[in-house]
Structure 1
Amino acid sequence: MQDDPVDPIMLSALQHWSYCPRQCALIHVEQVFDENVFTMRGNAAHERVDDPGFAIYEGVRTERALPVWSDRMGLIGKCDLVEFHPDGRVYPVEYKHGLKRGKKHDDVQLAAQAMCLEEMTGKHITHGAIYHHSSRRRREVEITQKLRDAVENAVHAIRAILDSGSLPPPANDARCKECSLKEICQPQVVAGLKMQNALLADLFKPEIM
């Protein structure tokens, strides 16, 4: 008897989970989302590549908003831009707002896109890029084994969150400042309640004679 099919995980969930597991659960389990200045900037950065189409320049074919998936990992989503070079190289490019700077969660999402493309095309992908909209510059990312392992680990962790339906504890750190779900998540309140409960439990712990 075959195993029951599982619902695919959105590629964007890997970026959310890598940034903050609680944010991932709020969006993909609770179906909660809200806008802030950072998400609006991100939407603006994606305007051009959200329109499906292709172009050919100097022999390089570029596909915008290309649907991708992995049956092995149970992933589905789309790449902002994929370059198909004459020498056979496949090169995914993910668009992000902001200045050029390294962010692990962006790299994990890009690596997941590369792994989907590998499964679909049969070609090994060694590099991709993050295009930073504010600085109009690319940051090339090597698709290392470490990044591939991070993708696999993220998929397993997200699957566990989806299966349990539970919310991880809040980060309650510098990440919360830029999160559009801060008011919904209430990280300081939730973290404070957890600390109070721990103090109460310790206060009423029976003494061992």
Structure 2
Amino acid sequence: MYTEDEMLMLSGIQHFMFCPRQWALIHIEQQWADNKLTAEGNILHQNVDNPFYRQKNGDVITLRSLHIASKELGLYGITDAVELLPSDSEEDAITHQRYKGYWKPYPVEYKRGHSKPDERDEVQLAAQAMCLEEMYGINIPFGALYYDEVKHRETIAISDHLRKTTRQCAVQMHDIFKSGKMPPAIKKHHCKNCSLKDICMPEMTDCIKVSTYLNKNLYEDIT
């Protein structure tokens, strides 16, 4: 169990899955830069993250911007949305002071693009589900990812595999944060889409020494 002083931001687990170095630049060195993709994501969440907006669609109630945390994972954050689905039983359900009956929480995470080739989005959703489970003593078997670019919602099973991956990521994040050491830059095909590329300089991994990097990049630009 982690203490309050050891808690890390839950949203960082998606950055960590994308690239541990990107996560460390943001959460250890406090570096940030926007590009087209991050700006579009900010616009999307301006419309989603309204804690005073509750939408009722039939029997389903949608709560926005809930504060959640898990001492097991050592993570805290704010959800995009948690849908409350009506339940006939109190098993794995919660009560709400404004709404009668029992409700099963169903986390929904909003993303600007489309589904990814890895599990970075699924792990963030799983971390949210695991926070809610710990807070309310329930089990949440499913959640959803909504991709704004394709206007499509994907149902995600919060499987044992996904939970294990989420726990492993959380442990690694805490280990790196505690050490204060930056992970090495590892060039990947998606580096070109990273807003921190110019800060990270993954090209340095191809260079044996600084003079080689300068000859390859700076001096070519001058000439």
Contact 2:48–2:80 under 8 Å retained in 1: yes
What pairs up with 1:1-209 in 2 under 5 angstroms? Answer: 6-53=5-52, 54-87=54-87, 88-100=103-115, 103-189=118-204, 191-193=205-207, 195=208
How far has the Cα of 1:101 moved from its partner? 5.0
| Runs (4+) off by over 6 Å | none
Give the whole-Å Cα distance in 2 for the aligned partners of 1:145 and 1:175. 28
The number of equivalent residue pairs is 193
Contact 1:100–1:137 under 8 Å retained in 2: no
Contact 1:100–1:138 under 8 Å retained in 2: no
Identity %: 41
Q: Which amino acid aligns with 2:153?
A: R
Contact 1:17–1:154 under 8 Å retained in 2: yes
Q: Which amino acid aligns with 1:132?
A: Y
Give the whole-Å Cα distance in 1 for the aligned partners of 2:173 and 2:144. 24
Contact 2:3–2:74 under 8 Å retained in 1: no
How far has the Cα of 1:103 moved from its partner? 4.1
- Single out whichever of 131-140 and 104-113 deviates more from structure 2: 131-140
Q: Which amino acid aligns with 1:56?
A: K
Contact 1:129–1:139 under 8 Å retained in 2: yes
How far has the Cα of 1:5 moved from its partner? 5.4
Secondary structure of 2:50's partner?
Answer: coil
Q: Runs of 5+ in structure 1 lacking a partner?
A: 198-209
- So what's the TM-score if we normalise by structure 2? 0.81
Secondary structure of 1:92's partner?
Answer: strand
How far has the Cα of 1:170 moved from its partner? 1.0
Contact 1:90–1:123 under 8 Å retained in 2: no
How far has the Cα of 1:42 moved from its partner? 0.8
Larger relative contact order, structure 1 or 2 (CA cutoff 8 Å, min sep 6): 1
Q: Runs of 5+ in structure 2 lacking a partner?
A: 88-102, 211-223
